Chain A
Amino acid sequence: MPANTMSKAERDQGHARVFDLSQHSLRELNQALHKLTPGSNETAWEVLHPKGSHSVAVGVDQPVSIDVRGSVGYYCAGMNDGATITVHGSAGPGVGENMMSGSIVIKGDASQYAGATGRGGLLVIEGNASSRCGISMKGIDIVVHGNIGHMSAFMAQSGNLVVLGDAGDALGDSIYEARLFVRGKVESLGADCIAKEMRPEHLELVQGLLDKAGVTGVKASEFKRYGSARKLYNFNIDNADAY
């Protein structure tokens, strides 16, 4: 339900603490979130009128749920450690950057470097993600319902990237041990990234992530797996000219 159609009574009934960014500053919101302590009763938050603000709900480290009603700018939900954050709109660059744990759901699209350097948790993008999705990911799981842009999963170290649509150019360039699963077409693979066999454990892994991300009507068997050929791991004398 759009926030502006909710009555105050309805909000109170839901026990959500409502924070209107047209009335209060972003700093007030983030400080209130940072003051939360373990066992706090303020477990549900609602943020109204974000209007593309930067850094909405960054650095939350308690298992609360936060619903952001509208589109956000740069770095939303960065460093999230345990919260469940839903953006009912689109997200600007760097959403969920360096997430540690918890989950982030973007109902719209995400701009470049979504989930960059993420170490854990689940990032779900229900629309498309643009370039560099999952760049340098280090353990995060990312599920994108739509397409991802070029240079996604560049230098991705660990974690899983599941894409229901297509991937842009240079997917997985210089990848380490992250696993990439793409259902649609891949424009091109980056250096040292190759297609790999979908073994039973991968089918199980993808099915588990689709379930967690609330994806229905899509089978794990429809995905192809991509990962590292492991040829860039060690210095190769044949490449000496390139240095």
Chain B
Amino acid sequence: MCGIVGLFLKDKALEPKLGAMLSEMLICLTDRGPDSAGIAIYGAATGNEAKITVQSPKPDRDFRGLDAELAKAIGAPVSVAVKSTHAVIRTTPDKVDTAREALQTLRPDIRIMGAGEAVEIYKEVGLPEAVVDRFDVRSMTGTHGIGHTRMATESAVTTMGAHPFSTGADQCLVHNGSLSNHNNVRRELVRDGMKFETENDTEVAAAYLSNRMAHGKNLGEALEGTLSDLDGFFTFVVGTKNGFGVVRDPIACKPAVMAETDQYVAFGSEYRALTKLPGIDNARVWEPEPATVYFWEH
């Protein structure tokens, strides 16, 4: 099972409601995956600020005084906004890599959920509603976002096993399905220098995309590659700085429904996730074709 949602806004007037709309969509699919949930929200990129979303098993200890220590270590201004077990670290775009390295020394228990100019990623064990409440997702503004609720099959129910998985700057992936060749692909990627946190199959898909892009492919080409290199069942939704993409394996037994109006493009594992969206009764609703890469971008 697992449930996926995605929402890409065309109408700026809806942007203050993005978090609320995406939250409702995800909660609707709770019975597709009650183990853990996650959401990636994209705010408008300003160009002069970068965000690193981090998670800690001991937020009180790890986030206290982090802004000053990190600012000193990287020699640039840093702000830290704590939300439950997560924190969003803001700094200048040129200092992101330095900050990631510094965090490893300053706070070895911290895990990086994702980084970029626009994205914030929140994920935890628990029901979608609990996760949405914990991170106050409903109040979040943004241009687009993706979410996932997990029924674990391939690895343990942990925060790091939850989706979305980061695939690069401002990129992340959610997955419904299961990959059968993830151990082999992981071994090949490890040989090529990729690092893994979990035994999870989706983390392998995320690392596969990052790796292909590091070898010069664009995201569309990397997604095309999943059709031949990944064996198993998948509907993937990827978030990018400007929008989102969808691809389903050639067998396409993992469900997917899309809806488009003048105001938005929406994705749901099931139609019921879309039923509360404005104007849904007159939306164009369709099922994405198997083995076909789709993109919507601003």
Residues of A bordering B, CB below 8 Å: 51-53, 71, 73-74, 90, 92-93, 108-109, 111-112, 130-131, 149-151
Are the CB atoms of B255 and A93 closer together than 8 Å? yes
Per the bound structure, the CA–CA distance linking A151 and B257 in Å amounts to 19
Are the CB atoms of A109 and B271 closer together than 8 Å? no
Are the CB atoms of B252 and A52 closer together than 8 Å? no
Are the CB atoms of A92 and B271 closer together than 8 Å? yes
Set B270, B274, B286, B290: member contacting A109, Cβ < 8 A:
B286
Q: Which residue of B lies closest to A51 (CB)?
A: B275
Sampled A-B contacts (5; CB under 8 Å): A92-B270, A108-B285, A111-B255, A111-B257, A111-B287
Not counting A92-B271, A108-B285, a sample of 16 additional A-B residue pairs whose C-beta atoms are within 8 angstroms of each other reads: A51-B272, A52-B270, A52-B272, A52-B273, A71-B271, A73-B271, A74-B270, A90-B271, A92-B255, A93-B255, A111-B255, A111-B287, A130-B287, A131-B253, A150-B252, A150-B290
Assuming the contacts A93-B255, A112-B253, asked whether A73 and B272 have C-beta atoms less than 8 A apart, the reply is: yes
Q: Min CB distance, B193 to chain A, in Å?
A: 38
Are the CB atoms of B285 and A90 closer together than 8 Å? yes
Are the CB atoms of A131 and B252 closer together than 8 Å? yes
Per the bound structure, the CA–CA distance linking A136 and B286 in Å amounts to 25
Q: Min CB distance, B103 to chain A, in Å?
A: 43
Per the bound structure, the CA–CA distance linking A92 and B273 in Å amounts to 12
The 4 residue pairs across chains A and B that have the minimum distance between CB atoms: A52-B272, A52-B271, A51-B275, A130-B287
Q: Min CB distance, B233 to chain A, in Å?
A: 13
Per the bound structure, the CA–CA distance linking A15 and B143 in Å amounts to 48
Are the CB atoms of B252 and A53 closer together than 8 Å? no
Which B residues are CB-close (under 8 A) to A93? 255
Q: Interface size (B, Cβ < 8 Å)?
A: 15
Per the bound structure, the CA–CA distance linking A79 and B159 in Å amounts to 41
Which B residues are CB-close (under 8 A) to A111? 255, 257, 287
Which B residues are CB-close (under 8 A) to A149? 252, 290
Are the CB atoms of B270 and A73 closer together than 8 Å? yes
Q: Which residue of A lies closest to B288 (CB)?
A: A130
Per the bound structure, the CA–CA distance linking A173 and B290 in Å amounts to 18
Per the bound structure, the CA–CA distance linking A149 and B290 in Å amounts to 9
Q: Min CB distance, A68 to chain B, in Å?
A: 13
Per the bound structure, the CA–CA distance linking A113 and B253 in Å amounts to 10
Which B residues are CB-close (under 8 A) to A109? 285-287
Per the bound structure, the CA–CA distance linking A218 and B189 in Å amounts to 55
Per the bound structure, the CA–CA distance linking A82 and B275 in Å amounts to 30
Per the bound structure, the CA–CA distance linking A112 and B254 in Å amounts to 10
Are the CB atoms of B252 and A112 closer together than 8 Å? yes
Q: Min CB distance, A126 to chain B, in Å?
A: 14
Q: Min CB distance, B281 to chain A, in Å?
A: 8
Which A residues are CB-close (under 8 A) to B251? 151
Q: Min CB distance, B27 to chain A, in Å?
A: 14
Q: Which residue of B lies closest to A91 (CB)?
A: B271
Per the bound structure, the CA–CA distance linking A71 and B273 in Å amounts to 12
Interface string of B33-55 (1 = CB under 8 A from A): 00000000000000000000000
Per the bound structure, the CA–CA distance linking A109 and B270 in Å amounts to 14
Interface string of B168-197 (1 = CB under 8 A from A): 000000000000000000000000000000
Per the bound structure, the CA–CA distance linking A149 and B251 in Å amounts to 11
Which A residues are CB-close (under 8 A) to B287? 109, 111, 130
Per the bound structure, the CA–CA distance linking A119 and B287 in Å amounts to 27
Q: Which residue of B lies closest to A151 (CB)?
A: B251
Interface string of B251-278 (1 = CB under 8 A from A): 1110101000000000000111111000
Which B residues are CB-close (under 8 A) to A150? 252, 290
Q: Which residue of B lies closest to A90 (CB)?
A: B285
B229-257 at interface with A (beta carbon < 8 Å): 251-253, 255, 257
Which A residues are CB-close (under 8 A) to B270? 52, 73-74, 92
Q: Min CB distance, B243 to chain A, in Å?
A: 24
Per the bound structure, the CA–CA distance linking A6 and B253 in Å amounts to 38
Which A residues are CB-close (under 8 A) to B273? 52
Q: Which of B271, B275, B285 has the most chain A CB atoms closer than 10 A to its own CB?
A: B271
Q: Min CB distance, B284 to chain A, in Å?
A: 11
Q: Min CB distance, B28 to chain A, in Å?
A: 9
Which A residues are CB-close (under 8 A) to B275? 51-52, 71
